């Protein structure tokens, strides 16, 4: 591939304004069609943390806005992330329609359609032909892994962060000031937008080698690094409050390392085929040297790494796209593990770089074949193949959308993919509780706790579990375990927030330590936060309960 000069080469032929408008309408329409089976779906899982139970997004008052913008404020502590743009977007939605979910789903679908559209100029800027760029963007639009990002309301942050990141990459050469603004907003939406930094660095290096007289603007890049560090500091502080309980892939570091390669292979398989998607991924570790996933991941990452280096040495834009994909994979690779080691939504920022890099990687072979069978014939055949794959992806995505219409559908989907996983045991626990089987519910939820489940408040709030929550077996095997985890995490914390003290008080109450629970609630009265009414109500109820027990 002939190196492309970043500053001198003309952009590939673009679309007319009418053509762009038609593409925008088409992409948004497709996104809405694919998401429609879940358009009136309920809030799910983390939606409750970020939106439903989050008082800081319930109104665009100056107090809420000021608190959300504070890097170390209560909203950051409550959501365990410094992502003010994300929270402000949800605050605007709540101000408009409250808890009516249709607007939230429509917003995600429209955002996904427009983000997909942005990939066309992004791919064309890298040197991909107009038709191929449009087809690549279409495949991203309809990819089955992206159903989760669109269907799960709180994942608006991923859609917006990717859109802002792509916008920053499109503008950073000609409009560095605007690009810096977009990069900053992307980081303030989701800190994983940090992956843009190495892409810009590689692009600047390629530009300096392709066109030495036109020096890259290293000063702007240095500014981006400063901004990234400034935003990462409160983000890391918030993340460290999340848990003192160590999460591991495997105690053996060699098994852990093999599993990282296996996870990479699973993502590549999902990206290429649209198969293997699930609401909650709990893949087994790569316990054997002969594990096929780890071997496939090793071969794939070695090949990608070699290709990236070779393209970089040739000053090719393709290297930037491989770096884009790799930088998006890094934070979710499980080098630093978390409970669910994979997620469909984690593929969302990986796919743009991966699709673009493959389009460029296969272009020489495509040109060689076109010279022998006829360029026009080959273009038609390639377009037909890409459209066929897009139809398959689209049909799969539309059929998958109902999974995100309700909690039970999500649990069923996870249990089908991983029948021995945490979510499968949670499903069995709900099924047992529904019939009043306290022993069965305790066994199932106890196993889920062993596998990493730790949300005591969510468990107590679920109406289906009230039939068994008061039984001795459920208390001993589930509730006390969860209470101990919360106490272990929060009891020694310095300067806890109101929300953390409420959790701590609940844990002490479950254990029967009412004096400690009251002390935690009394501390919460003076702690920062927006839960004063809840604290006062819990204090009143707990004092009445304590007095009744004393009699």
CB atoms within 10 A of CB 198: 15
pLDDT of residue 5: 41
Per-position DSSP letters for 139-156, written without gaps between them: HHHH-TTHHHHHHSGGGH
- pLDDT tens column, 110-122: 999 999 999 999 9
Asked if pLDDT for residue 245 goes beyond 70, the answer is no
Q: How many residues does the chain have?
A: 551
pLDDT of residue 291: 96
Percent of the chain whose predicted confidence (pLDDT) is above 70: 93
Asked if pLDDT for residue 50 goes beyond 80, the answer is yes
Of 103-107, 147-151, 534-538, least confident by mean pLDDT is 534-538
Check residues 60 and 442 and name the one with the higher pLDDT.
442
Calculate mean pLDDT across residues 323-348: 93
Q: Tokens for 33, please give them.
A: 């069609």
- pLDDT tens column, 173-200: 889 999 999 999 999 999 999 999 999 9
φ, ψ for residue 281, nearest 5 deg:
-95, 130
φ, ψ for residue 342, nearest 5 deg:
-140, 160
Q: Tokens for 246, please give them.
A: 């160590």
pLDDT of residue 165: 97
Check residues 355 and 209 and name the one with the higher pLDDT.
355
Percent of the chain whose predicted confidence (pLDDT) is above 90: 71
Rounded to a whole number of angstroms, the CA Rg of the chain reads 25
pLDDT of residue 368: 67
pLDDT of residue 393: 96
Q: Residue 406: which pLDDT band, with cuts at 50, 70 and 90?
A: very high
Asked if pLDDT for residue 503 goes beyond 80, the answer is yes
pLDDT of residue 371: 65
pLDDT of residue 7: 39
Asked if pLDDT for residue 8 goes beyond 80, the answer is no
Of 183-192, 204-213, 507-516, least confident by mean pLDDT is 204-213
Asked if pLDDT for residue 373 goes beyond 70, the answer is no
Q: Annotate 262-299 with three-state secondary structure.
A: HHHHHHHHHHHHCCCCCCCECCCCCCCCCCHHHHHHHH
* 306-330 exposure pattern, b = at least 16 Cβ within 10 A, e = fewer: ebbeebbeebbbbbbbbbbbbbbbe
pLDDT of residue 372: 65
Asked if pLDDT for residue 315 goes beyond 70, the answer is yes
Asked if pLDDT for residue 11 goes beyond 60, the answer is no
Q: Taking a C-beta distance cutoff of 8 angstroms, is the pair 188, 231 a contact?
A: yes
Asked if pLDDT for residue 449 goes beyond 60, the answer is yes
Check residues 375 and 140 and name the one with the higher pLDDT.
140
Q: Residue 452: which pLDDT band, with cuts at 50, 70 and 90?
A: confident
Asked if pLDDT for residue 212 goes beyond 70, the answer is no
CB atoms within 10 A of CB 392: 14
Element of type H or E holding 51 = none
pLDDT of residue 59: 85
Asked if pLDDT for residue 508 goes beyond 90, the answer is yes
CA-CA-CA-CA torsion for 507, 509, 511, 515, nearest 10 degrees? 110
Query: What's the CA gap between 269 and 78, in Å, rounded?
Result: 36
Asked if pLDDT for residue 425 goes beyond 60, the answer is yes
Query: What's the CA gap between 107 and 32, in Å, rounded?
Result: 10
Rounded to 10°, the helix 101-125/130-142 angle is 150
User: 281 - beta bridge partners?
Assistant: 342
Number of H helices, E strands in the chain: 28, 0
Q: Tokens for 14, please give them.
A: 């673009």
Q: Residue 13: which pLDDT band, with cuts at 50, 70 and 90?
A: low
Q: Taking a C-beta distance cutoff of 8 angstroms, is the pair 500, 490 a contact?
A: yes
Query: What's the CA gap between 360 and 364, in Å, rounded?
Result: 8
> 115 CB contacts (<8 Å, ≥6 apart)?
159, 162, 163, 166
Asked if pLDDT for residue 28 goes beyond 90, the answer is yes
Which residue is listed with tokens 């139809």?
A: 391
pLDDT of residue 276: 95
pLDDT of residue 215: 57
Of 6-10, 288-292, 371-375, 483-487, least confident by mean pLDDT is 6-10
> 140 CB contacts (<8 Å, ≥6 apart)?
116, 119, 146, 351, 352, 355
Element of type H or E holding 457 = helix 456-461
Asked if pLDDT for residue 304 goes beyond 90, the answer is yes
Query: What's the CA gap between 271 and 140, in Å, rounded?
Result: 9
Asked if pLDDT for residue 4 goes beyond 50, the answer is no
Q: Taking a C-beta distance cutoff of 8 angstroms, is the pair 92, 58 a contact?
A: no
Q: Residue 1: which pLDDT band, with cuts at 50, 70 and 90?
A: very low
């Amino acid at each position: 591939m002939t190196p492309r000069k970043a500053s001198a080469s003309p952009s590939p032929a673009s679309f007319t304004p009418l053509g762009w408008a038609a593409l925008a309408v088409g992409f948004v329409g497709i996104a809405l069609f694919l998401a429609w089976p879940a358009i009136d779906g309920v809030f799910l899982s983390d939606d409750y943390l970020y939106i439903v139970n989050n008082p800081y997004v319930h109104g665009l008052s100056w107090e809420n806005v000021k608190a959300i913008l504070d890097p170390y404020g209560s909203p950051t502590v409550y959501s365990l992330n410094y992502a003010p743009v994300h929270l402000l977007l949800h605050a605007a939605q709540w101000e408009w329609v409250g808890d009516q979910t249709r607007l939230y789903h429509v917003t995600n679908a429209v955002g996904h359609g427009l983000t997909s559209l942005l990939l066309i100029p992004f791919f064309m800027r890298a040197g991909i032909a107009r038709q191929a760029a449009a087809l690549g963007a279409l495949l991203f639009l309809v990819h089955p892994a992206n159903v989760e990002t669109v269907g799960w309301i709180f994942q608006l942050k991923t859609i917006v962060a990717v859109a802002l990141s792509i916008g920053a990459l499109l503008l950073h050469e000609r409009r560095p000031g605007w690009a810096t603004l977009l990069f900053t907003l992307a980081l303030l939406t989701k800190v994983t937008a940090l992956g843009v930094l190495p892409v810009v660095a590689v692009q600047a290096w390629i530009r300096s080698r392709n066109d030495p007289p036109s020096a890259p603007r290293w000063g702007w890049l240095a500014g981006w690094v400063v901004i990234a560090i400034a935003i990462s500091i409160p983000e890391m502080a918030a993340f460290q409050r999340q848990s003192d309980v160590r999460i591991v892939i495997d105690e053996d570091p060699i098994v852990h390392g093999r599993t990282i390669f296996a996870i990479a292979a699973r993502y590549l398989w999902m990206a290429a085929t649209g198969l293997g998607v699930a609401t909650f991924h709990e893949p087994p570790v790569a316990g054997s040297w002969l594990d096929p996933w780890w071997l496939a991941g090793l071969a794939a990452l070695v090949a990608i790494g070699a290709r990236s280096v070779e393209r970089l040495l040739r000053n090719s834009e393709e290297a930037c796209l491989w770096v884009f994909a790799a930088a998006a994979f890094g934070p979710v690779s499980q080098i630093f593990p978390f409970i669910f080691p994979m997620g469909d939504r984690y593929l969302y920022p990986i796919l743009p770089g991966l699709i673009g890099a493959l389009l460029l990687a296969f272009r020489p072979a495509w040109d060689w074949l076109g010279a022998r069978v006829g360029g026009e014939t080959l273009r038609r055949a390639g377009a037909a193949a890409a459209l066929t794959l897009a139809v398959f992806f689209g049909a799969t995505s539309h059929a998958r959308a109902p999974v995100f219409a309700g909690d039970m559908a999500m649990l069923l989907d996870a249990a089908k993919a991983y029948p021995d996983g945490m979510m499968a045991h949670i499903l069995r626990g709900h099924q047992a509780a529904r019939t009043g089987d306290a022993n069965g519910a305790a066994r199932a939820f106890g196993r889920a706790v062993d596998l990493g489940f730790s949300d005591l408040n969510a468990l107590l709030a679920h109406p289906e579990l009230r039939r068994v929550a008061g039984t001795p077996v459920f208390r001993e095997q589930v509730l006390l375990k969860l209470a101990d985890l919360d106490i272990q995490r929060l009891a020694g914390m310095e300067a806890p927030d109101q929300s953390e003290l409420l959790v701590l008080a609940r844990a002490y109450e479950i254990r029967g330590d009412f004096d400690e629970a009251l002390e935690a609630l009394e501390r919460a009265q003076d702690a920062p936060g927006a839960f004063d009414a809840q604290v006062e109500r819990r204090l009143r109820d707990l004092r009445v309960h304590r007095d009744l027990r004393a009699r």
